[in-house]
């Protein structure tokens, strides 16, 4: 799938502990983190985590972030979701983009998965197998049909987030009052990131 095509990886050096943002590609222009996404994962730095400065598929060069239009973003993410569910080659492609992240993180990996991000991670792990590093996942408004059993998982799902509620039926730890695209702005979600970073591993 073109959304995940890349040569090389932005993750090319070893780190003991990392935090990363994983989500679907809302625009063809870039996979850069928004200021709010970058600020959210930066909350884990005081606990020893090194943030990955770009989003999935972790291309070594990214254009600056620009806001995606909601209609095109929804269409692109729907197409990616369908590919993950029904095209085995898509899962292998995702796994190839995740492999440097998993192999070059030595101890703790905190993956913050927005919306489709949990599906991306789960499908990739099915191909790659259990990572050698310790993995903890914070899923924000998850859209994920694949079973996520066995993950150390913290989930935020707003009661009014029908996109997530229709596509994820697993355990939920936090029910913030926000829209599907606004988890990164919610103060309770910020505290959930803190909790996931500092809880015993």
Q: What is the domain-level CATH number for residue 16?
A: 3.40.50
DSSP strand pairing (105-114 vs 15-22): parallel
More confident residue, 198 or 146: 198
pLDDT tier for residue 26 given thresholds of 50, 70 and 90: low
**pTM of the model as a whole:** 0.92
Q: What is the pLDDT of residues 108-133, one digit of tens each?
A: 999 999 999 999 999 999 999 999 99
Number of domains in the chain: 1
Separation between Cα atoms, residue 45 and residue 56, nearest integer Å: 20
Angle between helices 88-103 and 117-128 (to 10 degrees): 80
Q: Residue 26 sits in which domain range?
A: 2-198
Question: Is the CB of residue 142 less than 8 Å from the CB of residue 120?
Answer: no
DSSP state of 59: -
Least confident range of 19-23, 54-58, 81-85, 125-129: 81-85
Q: What is the pLDDT of residues 56-80, one digit of tens each?
A: 999 887 766 556 655 565 766 677 7
Least confident range of 22-36, 40-54, 118-132, 142-156: 22-36
User: If you average pLDDT over residues 148-157, what whole number do you get?
Assistant: 92
Cβ burial of 71 (10 Å; 0-12, 13-18, 19+) is exposed
DSSP class per residue in 60-77 = SS-PPP-PPPHHHHHHHH
More confident residue, 100 or 62: 100
**Residue from 106, 122, 123, 103 nearest 201 by CA:** 106
């Amino acid at each position: 799938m073109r959304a995940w095509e890349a040569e090389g990886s932005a993750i090319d050096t070893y780190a003991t502990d990392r935090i990363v943002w994983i989500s679907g590609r809302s625009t063809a222009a870039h996979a850069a983190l928004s200021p709010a996404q970058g600020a959210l994962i930066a909350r884990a730095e005081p606990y020893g985590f090194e943030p990955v400065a770009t989003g999935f598929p972790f291309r070594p060069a990214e254009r600056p972030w620009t806001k995606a239009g909601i209609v095109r973003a929804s269409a692109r993410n729907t197409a990616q979701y369908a590919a993950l569910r029904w095209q085995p080659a898509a899962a292998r492609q995702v796994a190839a983009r995740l492999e440097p992240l998993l192999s070059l993180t030595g101890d703790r990996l905190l993956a913050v998965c927005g919306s489709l991000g949990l599906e991306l991670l789960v499908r990739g792990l099915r191909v790659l197998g259990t990572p050698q590093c310790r993995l903890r996942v914070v899923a924000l408004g998850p859209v994920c049909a694949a079973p996520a059993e066995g993950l150390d998982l913290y989930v935020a799902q707003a009661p009014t987030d029908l996109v997530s509620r229709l596509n994820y039926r697993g355990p939920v730890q936090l029910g913030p009052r926000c829209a599907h695209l606004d988890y990164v702005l919610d103060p309770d979600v910020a505290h959930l990131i803190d909790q996931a970073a500092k809880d015993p591993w």
